[in-house]
Amino acid sequence: MVYVIVVYDMQADRTRLMLNFLRKYLTHVQNSVFEGEITEGDLETIQTRTQDLLEPNESAIIYRMSSEKYVERTVVGEDPTNDARFL
Protein backbone atom coordinates (compact mmCIF):
# COMPACT_ATOMS: atom_id res chain seq x y z
CA MET A 1 0.00 0.00 0.00
CA VAL A 2 1.08 3.55 -0.70
CA TYR A 3 -0.27 6.86 0.56
CA VAL A 4 -0.88 9.46 -2.16
CA ILE A 5 -2.01 13.03 -2.48
CA VAL A 6 -3.32 14.05 -5.90
CA VAL A 7 -3.63 17.72 -6.84
CA TYR A 8 -4.95 18.71 -10.25
CA ASP A 9 -5.58 21.86 -12.27
CA MET A 10 -8.10 21.61 -15.10
CA GLN A 11 -10.47 23.88 -16.95
CA ALA A 12 -13.43 24.65 -14.66
CA ASP A 13 -15.98 22.98 -16.93
CA ARG A 14 -13.92 19.75 -16.96
CA THR A 15 -13.06 19.30 -13.27
CA ARG A 16 -16.08 17.04 -12.75
CA LEU A 17 -14.38 14.36 -14.91
CA MET A 18 -11.39 14.10 -12.58
CA LEU A 19 -13.51 14.51 -9.46
CA ASN A 20 -15.75 11.57 -10.36
CA PHE A 21 -12.80 9.39 -11.32
CA LEU A 22 -10.66 10.04 -8.23
CA ARG A 23 -13.60 9.56 -5.83
CA LYS A 24 -13.48 5.87 -6.73
CA TYR A 25 -10.04 5.54 -5.10
CA LEU A 26 -9.34 8.45 -2.75
CA THR A 27 -10.91 10.86 -0.27
CA HIS A 28 -11.85 14.30 -1.59
CA VAL A 29 -10.34 16.76 0.90
CA GLN A 30 -10.37 20.11 -0.94
CA ASN A 31 -11.24 21.48 -4.35
CA SER A 32 -9.00 19.55 -6.74
CA VAL A 33 -7.22 17.67 -3.91
CA PHE A 34 -7.57 13.99 -3.00
CA GLU A 35 -5.64 11.76 -0.63
CA GLY A 36 -5.62 8.24 0.70
CA GLU A 37 -3.98 4.85 0.92
CA ILE A 38 -4.19 2.70 -2.21
CA THR A 39 -2.54 -0.31 -3.81
CA GLU A 40 0.29 -0.07 -6.33
CA GLY A 41 -2.16 -1.28 -8.98
CA ASP A 42 -4.63 1.48 -8.15
CA LEU A 43 -1.79 4.00 -8.32
CA GLU A 44 -0.92 2.82 -11.82
CA THR A 45 -4.58 3.12 -12.81
CA ILE A 46 -4.76 6.64 -11.39
CA GLN A 47 -1.59 7.71 -13.21
CA THR A 48 -2.73 6.28 -16.54
CA ARG A 49 -6.31 7.55 -16.38
CA THR A 50 -5.22 10.97 -15.13
CA GLN A 51 -2.92 11.33 -18.11
CA ASP A 52 -5.79 10.33 -20.41
CA LEU A 53 -8.15 12.91 -18.86
CA LEU A 54 -5.78 15.87 -19.09
CA GLU A 55 -5.80 18.25 -22.02
CA PRO A 56 -3.07 20.72 -23.04
CA ASN A 57 -2.36 23.33 -20.33
CA GLU A 58 -3.85 21.10 -17.59
CA SER A 59 -1.81 19.24 -15.01
CA ALA A 60 -1.86 16.90 -12.04
CA ILE A 61 0.71 16.26 -9.32
CA ILE A 62 0.76 12.92 -7.51
CA TYR A 63 2.69 12.91 -4.24
CA ARG A 64 3.58 9.40 -3.14
CA MET A 65 4.61 8.35 0.37
CA SER A 66 5.47 4.87 1.48
CA SER A 67 3.09 5.26 4.41
CA GLU A 68 0.63 7.76 5.87
CA LYS A 69 2.80 7.85 9.01
CA TYR A 70 5.34 9.94 7.06
CA VAL A 71 2.79 12.66 6.41
CA GLU A 72 2.35 15.39 8.97
CA ARG A 73 -1.11 16.77 8.30
CA THR A 74 -2.46 19.94 9.91
CA VAL A 75 -6.01 21.04 9.19
CA VAL A 76 -7.20 24.53 10.03
CA GLY A 77 -10.99 24.59 10.22
CA GLU A 78 -13.19 21.56 9.65
CA ASP A 79 -11.41 18.40 8.54
CA PRO A 80 -13.24 17.07 5.47
CA THR A 81 -11.91 13.55 6.08
CA ASN A 82 -13.58 13.11 9.50
CA ASP A 83 -16.66 11.39 8.11
CA ALA A 84 -15.52 10.76 4.54
CA ARG A 85 -14.88 7.05 5.03
CA PHE A 86 -18.35 6.29 6.33
CA LEU A 87 -21.19 5.67 3.90
Structural domain spans, the chain: 2-59
How far does CA 21 lie from the centroid of its chain? Answer: 10
Q: What is the CATH number of domain 2-59?
A: 3.30.70.240
Q: Cα–Cα distance between 44 and 35 in angstroms, integer?
A: 15
In tens, the pLDDT along 52-61 reads 999 999 999 9
In tens, the pLDDT along 21-75 reads 999 999 999 999 999 999 999 999 999 999 999 999 999 999 998 777 777 777 7
Q: Cα–Cα distance between 29 and 6 in angstroms, integer?
A: 10
